[in-house]
Amino acid sequence: MTAWEPPDRPRSRLAYCCPEKMAEDREPPPLADAVQTDFREVEEGEDLFVSTVSTAEQLSPTSPEPASFPAEDISTNSNGPKQEILLDDDQEDLFAEATEEVSLDSPEREPILSDGPSPAITPVTPTVIITPRVDALFDRSLDEDEEAEENGDTFDMQITVSDPEKVGDGMNAYMAYKVTTKTSLSLFSRNEFSVKRRFSDFLGLHSKLASKYMHIGYIVPPAPEKSIVGMTKVKVGKEDLSSAEFVEKRRSALERYLMRTVNHPALVKDPDVIQFLENTELPRAVSTQALSGAGILRMVNKAADAVNKMTIKMNESDAWFEEKQQQFENLDIQLRKLHASVESLVCHRKELSVNTASFAKSAAMLGNSEDHTALSRALSQLAEVEEKIDQLHHEQAYADFYLFSELLGDYVRLITAVKGVFDQRMKTWSKWQDAQVMLQRKREAEAKLQYANKPDKLQQAKDEIKEEIEEWEAKVQQGERDFEQISKNIRREVERFEKQRVKDFKVVIIKYLESLVHTQQQLIKYWEAFLPEAKAIA
C-alpha cells in the first residue's frame, strides 16, 4: 500500500517499520516503508538535536525534541501515552517540558486507517472536495521502544477542524467549524471534546497569543488570512465549486494553524488556548475586525513599528543574530518565489485537466464519425484514456496544492512571524538603550545639582533626583534582563523552528513525490491498456 493515496480513498497513516525491512528487496513502491525508516532514525539520533543554548544550563536527560504526535488511535499497540510535563526550575526552559517518548512500530503493525472524520464533507456544499490530509506533519504512529523509554513522555494531542456549517444568512452569516480535540494531556479536563468556533474566534486567539508572547521572543504561529471575496461568496449563498473549495481551503488552514499552535510547548499551556479548545461559549472577538477600533489601532501600530525599524540602528554584538536574520531574509525571498511557481503549477495543471477532458470529448466525437470500424473503436478508447488522465491531472493538482503550495504559504507567513520576533528584540534593545540614556541624564542632573546655588530647594531636589536615579537604574537593569531573556528565547525558538521546518519540508516533499509516482503509475496503467487497442487497428 502506498503512503500517498488518491483522495477518494480513506487516508492511511504512515506506518513505521524496522530498518531490517528496508534492507529486503522491495517491490515498487518501496516508498511507504522507506519513508518510515527516516523517522525511526530521528529518535535514535538524539545527539544531533541538542540545542546550543541548553549546554549552558542543566538539561533534563532527554533531548529537546520537537513535540510530535502519534496517530489518533493510541489504543492499539502503543504502550499508552504516558505524559508528564516536567517542570523545570528554570521557568523559561520550556524545552524541558517538550519531551516525549518516541517509539517505533513493531514490524507487524498495519498502517492505521484514519478514524477522524473524512475531510471536507460538509452539509453546506453540494460537492465533496477531498483533500489529501496533511496530518503527516503532525502525527506519527509511533510506538514505544524500550530504549526510548528514558526519553520521557509522549506529547499527544490531535486536533481536527471539520463540519463547516453556515450559520445565519445574508451579510451577517458566518461559517462555524467544529474543533475536535483528542488528548491525554492533564491540562485538559477531558480526553476528547469538541466545540464550535467561527473564523474570528481563531483570529482572536492569535491576537491574544501574539500580544502575550511575541514581545518575549516566542514565534507565535500566524492565523490564516482573511478573505473578503471568498467569504462574501459564501455569505451570499453561492453553493458552487469555488466557494466549496474556499471553505475546504480555510478548514484545512485552520486545522494546521491549531496544530502548529499546540505544537509549541508554551502556547499549549496558555489559558486562552485551553479555553479556546474547551469552552463551549467564547466571547466574540470583535477586535479582529479590520475596521474596529482595535483594528485601526493595529494598523497604526504596524506603521509606527515600520518607522521605528528604519530608525533603530542596533549595535549587534552577537553575530548569530545577524547571520540568522540574513538567512531568514534569503529564505523568505526564495520561499515566496517557490510558492508563486507552485501556485502557477497548480493553475496550469487544473487547466491541463480541463483541456484534456475537452479533448477526450472531441476524440470521442471523432471516433463516432470515423467509418472504419477498428479505427473508430480505437479513437473511442483514446477518448476514454484521456478522460481518465484528465481526472488524474485533477487529483494531482489537488496534491500540488494541498501538500506543496499550502505548506509554502504557511512557511512564508511563519517567517514573517520569525522576522517579527527579531524586530521585537530590536525594540527591547532600544528600550534598554533609552533607559540607559535616561539614567545618564539623571546622573548628570544630579551632578549639576551639586553645584547649584539654591540651598533651600537643594535637598528636596537631591532627594527627587536620587529617587529618579534609582528608578532608572532599575529600569536599565530590567531592560538588560529583558534583552538577554528575549535573546535567549529567540535562540531557542529559532532552533525549534528550524527543526520543525526541516521535518515539515522533508515529510511533505516526500509525500508530494509519492503523489507524483502514483500519477505516473496510473498513466502507465492506462496507456498499457490502450496500446493493444491501437495495434488492433487493421
Partner 1 sequence: MQTGLEKVLEWFPRAVNVDLQTDATLQVDISDALSERDKVKFTVHTKSTLPNFKQNEFSVVRQHEEFIWLHDSFVENEEYAGFIIPPAPPRPDFDASREKLQKLGEGEGSMTKEEFTKMKQELEAEYLAIFKKTVAMHEVFLCRVAAHPVLRKDLNFHVFLEYNQDLSVRGKNKKEKLEDFFKNVVKSADGVIVAGVKDVDDFFEHEKTFLLEYHNRVKDASAKSDRMIRSHKSAADDINRIASTLYTLGTQDSTDMCKFFLKVSELFEKTRKIEARVAADEDLKLADLLKYYLRESQAAKDLLYRRGRALVDYENANKALDKARAKNKDVLQAETTQQVCCQKFEKISESAKQELIDFKTRRVAAFRKNLVELAELELKHAKKIRQNLYIGNLQLLQSCLAVLKGDT
Name the residues that contact partner 1, by CB under 8 A: 28-31, 34-35, 37-38, 41-42, 44-45, 47-48, 327, 330-331, 334-335, 337-338, 341-342, 344-345, 348-349, 351-352, 355-356, 358-359, 361-363, 365-366, 368-372, 374-375, 378-379, 382, 498, 501-502, 505-506, 509-510, 513-514, 516-517, 520-521, 523-524, 527-528, 530-531, 534-535, 537
- In the complex with partner 1, the residue whose CB is nearer, 82 or 501, is 501
Quick one: 204 or 367, whose CB is closer to partner 1?
367
Distance from C-alpha of 449 to C-alpha of 466, rounded to nearest angstrom: 11
Nearer to partner 1, 109 or 503 (CB): 503
Matching residue, cell 479536563: 189
Rounded to whole angstroms, the Cα distance separating 316 from 334 reads 25
CB 139 within 8 A of CB 13: yes
For residue 392, the minimal CB distance to partner 1 (Å) is 11
Least CB distance to partner 1 at residue 30 (A): 7
Give the shortest CB-380-to-partner 1 separation in angstroms: 12
Integer Cα distance of 177 and 196 in angstroms: 6
Residues 6+ apart with CB under 8 A from 107: 17, 18, 20, 21
Provide, rounded to whole angstroms, the least separation between the CB of residue 240 and partner 1.
Answer: 23
Exposure string (b/e) for 292-320, b if CB count within 10 Å is 16 or more?
eeeeeeeeeeeeeeeeeeeeeeeeeeeee
Q: How far is the CB of 185 from partner 1 (least distance, A)?
A: 28
Could you give the residue ranges of the DSSP H alpha helices within 5-100?
Answer: 19-23, 31-44
Q: Which stretches of 58-162 are DSSP H helices?
A: none
Whether cis (ω within 30° of 0) applies to the bond prior to 29 is: yes
Q: Judged by CB, which is closer to partner 1: 374, or 447?
A: 374
Smallest gap from residue 366 Cβ to partner 1 (A)? 4
Q: Which is nearer to partner 1, 180 or 353 (CB)?
A: 353
DSSP readout, 284-307?
A: --GGGSTTSHHHHHHHHHHHHHHH
Closest CB 156 distance from partner 1, rounded Å: 23
Q: Which is nearer to partner 1, 48 or 296 (CB)?
A: 48
Q: Is the CB of 191 or the CB of 362 nearer to partner 1?
A: 362
Q: How far are the Cα atoms of 266, 349, 442, 537 from residue 384, in angstroms, in the given order? A: 55, 19, 86, 17
